[in-house]
Structure 1
Amino acid sequence: MKIKVISVNISEKKGTVKVPVGQIELNSNGVAGDAHAGKWHRQVSLLGTESFRKFEITAGRALQYGEFAENITTEGIVLYETHPLDRFVIGDVL
């Protein structure tokens, strides 16, 4: 299966749900404009739709992208098999 980015999400304040936006900019501190960007251990978070859909069934309700505080919602990659510092190529973007 081809890897896809389904949604990109940010929150401007910590403790708030991330909301989908049209695009994000990644830099050395994480996602520009996101409250969790900075020089620490969790600059960018990813969540696969595979996990997202599984939780929707468990919760018995539809979820919105960003509700898990993920910056990037993906499809077609088994994220729990990846490692810190792995790089992903999606289309023409590394």
Structure 2
Amino acid sequence: MAQGSLYSICIAKQRGELKHEVDEALVITDFGIENDGHAGDWGRQVTCLAWESVLRVNREKNLQIGPGQFAENLLIAGIDLTTVGTGGRIRIGREVILEVSQIGKEDHPSVVTRTLGVTLLPYEGLFCRVINGGKIHRGDPVEVLQNV
């Protein structure tokens, strides 16, 4: 089983905004992250991105992009997220379990593209439903439970 760590947690009040980093967050079952605009009754409650992908784009494009600037909720370090398929599950900390509902999404002229000129979520983002909620903290262990 692949194991890594939670590099950062990011939220924004509304959709269409760049997110800001927080040290901890409450993840609510079948809803999303408390105080995040993407939370709700749908399949894209929480977005995950690999920290290594952000570092790669920074190198390739000579940028200094940090947590939340790709509009992701969770940056995960040390796991190749491309190996987690739709239906795969990820545990964060002791309690939180996310299930991948979608990989990537339609690319449109978002605030990320307009601001940075580059985007990752439409191509590499994991969009997840919250199967089991709980409190998460920066640095928590992350484990792939199931690949489909």
TM-score in same-fold range (> 0.5)? yes
User: Alpha-carbon deviation of 1:26?
Assistant: 1.2
1:67 aligns with: 69
Q: Is the 8 A contact 1:19 1:65 kept in 2?
A: yes
Relative to the length of structure 1, the TM-score reads 0.87
Which runs of 5 or more structure 2 residues have no equivalent in the other structure?
97-148
Query: Distance in 1 between the 2:93 and 2:32 partners?
Result: 20
1:76 paired residue number: 78
Shift of 1:59: 2.2
Q: Which of 28, 33, 36 does residue 35 from structure 2 map onto?
A: 33
Of 57, 69, 73 in structure 2, the residue corresponding to residue 55 of structure 1 is 57
Say if 1:3 and 1:90, in contact at 8 Å, map to a contact too: no
Farther-moved stretch of structure 1 (84-93 vs 9-18)? 84-93
- The aligned counterpart of 1:43 is 45
Structure 1 position 91, deviation (Å): 4.7
Structure 1 residue runs of 4 or more that deviate by more than 6 Å after TM superposition = none
Q: How many residues align?
A: 94
TM score, norm. by length of structure 2: 0.58
Larger strand share, 1 or 2: 2
